[in-house]
Amino acid sequence: QPVLTQPPSVSASLGASVTLTCTLSSGYSDYKVDWYQQRPGKGPRFVMRVGIGGIVGSKGDGIPDRFSVLGSGLNRYLTIKNIQEEDESDYHCAADHGSGNNFVVLFGGGTKLTVL
């Protein structure tokens, strides 16, 4: 099953752009990944799903156009443009693997985005 790796933290200035990375382990370059935003003290909310070809399906409810995704090789990226204070959150990536009795969901360790 794949391992998802995220840097623990990243910071960006208000109004700037930032790209968050979720890296799949070797051999899983065809996997899709879901991004979730978790604001301080809140439960996560779905941002969007990304595969090697880009977004899969639609963005989550209320996700602004400033959020976009890209897939390349083993990496799945979430880019936030014109960063706002409300974007300061933990961002988690997740992937589903297997089927039937072998179905599992795996999460990365999460990245804390600090807005300077």
Partner 1 sequence: QVQLQESGPGLVKPSQALSLSCSVSGGSIIDGGYYWTWIRQLPGKGLEWIGSIYSNGGTYYSPLLRSRVTISLHTSKNQFSLNLNSMTAADTATYYCARLIARAALYYFDYWGQGTLVTVSS
Check binding of 2 to partner 1 (CB under 8 A): no
CA distance 97 to 31: 9
Class of residue 40 by CB neighbours under 10 A (exposed 0-12, middle 13-18, buried 19+): exposed
Inter-CA distances, 82 with 2, 16, 73, 95, Å = 32, 5, 26, 27
Residue from 11, 15, 57, 114 that binds partner 1 (CB under 8 A)? 57
Q: How many CB atoms lie within 10 A of CB 66?
A: 13
| 17/58 with CB nearer partner 1 | 58
Rounded to the nearest whole angstrom, what is the least distance from the CB of residue 48 to partner 1 in the complex? 9
- 110 is an interface residue for partner 1 by CB under 8 A: yes
Query: In the bound complex, what is the minimum distance in angstroms from residue 12's beta carbon to partner 1?
Result: 20
Q: 61-70: which pairs have CB atoms within 8 A and are 24 or more residues apart? A: 63/37, 69/35
Closest separation in Å from C-beta 86 to partner 1: 18
The reply to whether 106 sits near partner 1 by the rule CB under 8 A is yes
Site residues (vs partner 1, CB under 8 A) = 6, 32, 34, 36, 42-46, 49, 51, 56-57, 60, 92, 94, 96, 101, 103-110
